[in-house]
Structure 1
Amino acid sequence: MESNFTNDQNYKYQEAKKKVNAIKGFYGNAMAYCIVIPVLAYINYRTTDFPWAIFPALGWGFGLLINGFCAYGYSPLFGKNWEERKIKEFMQES
């Protein structure tokens, strides 16, 4: 019984650690976005009339959005707890 409890705690700890690392990565990515995109916009403003800075802003912004969804566990495609349900389903088949 003790071993089962310890394994459950270890699993929860590992899952929590993964979530914290994902959120930390998201914040790092967001901070870099907030620094780099204005620099690119400034360079764009000072060098040419064509608004090329919009392309990296939109591309990186879309990636940042997806990264945020993943970090906070929001999945509009698969629904809430989809991964968890699939894991349980496959474990029961075995």
Structure 2
Amino acid sequence: MPTPHLSPEEIDRLARKRAGAKLGWYVHLAVYVAVNVLLFALSRYGFGHRNWTPAPALGWGVGTVLHGIAVFVLGSGGGLRDKLVQQERARLQREQDRAPR
């Protein structure tokens, strides 16, 4: 779908928003890796004799993947999000056109 004409200010705002979302995911990934390395080290060399780290790594990993999908697939100008936004705009415009003035 073509992007509607945006002013330079709107382009800057949208670019900053998208860059912030991507940066947020990179921070999420870095914290995920650091914490899970620490948990693995504690499991291996500290607490107990069995490896209990796969459960938190898997659970948090699913969240990290879903966050990535939301940022890079659905939120970065991906087709699905743009299509839903266009449908919602059209619906709101129809409602506004039908409303008495």
Provide TM-score, normalisation by structure 2.
0.69
Q: Which has the larger radius of gyration?
A: 2
Query: Equivalences for 1:65-80 in 2 at 5 Å?
Result: 65-74=65-74, 80=80
Q: Which runs of 5+ in 2 are unaligned?
A: 97-101
| Corresponding residue number in structure 1 for 2:55 | 55
Query: Equivalences for 1:11-22 in 2 at 5 Å?
Result: 11-22=10-21
- Quick one: which amino acid aligns to residue 91 of structure 2? F
- Quick one: which amino acid aligns to residue 89 of structure 1? A
How many equivalent pairs are there?
86
Matched residues in 2 for 1:25 and 1:74: separation?
A: 15
- Quick one: which amino acid aligns to residue 69 of structure 2? F
Q: Which runs of 5+ in 1 are unaligned?
A: none
Q: By how many angstroms is 1:34 displaced?
A: 1.4
Alignment CA distance shift 1:74-1:58 (3 Å): same
Q: Which runs of 4+ in 1 moved over 6 A?
A: none
Matched residues in 2 for 1:42 and 1:54: separation?
A: 12
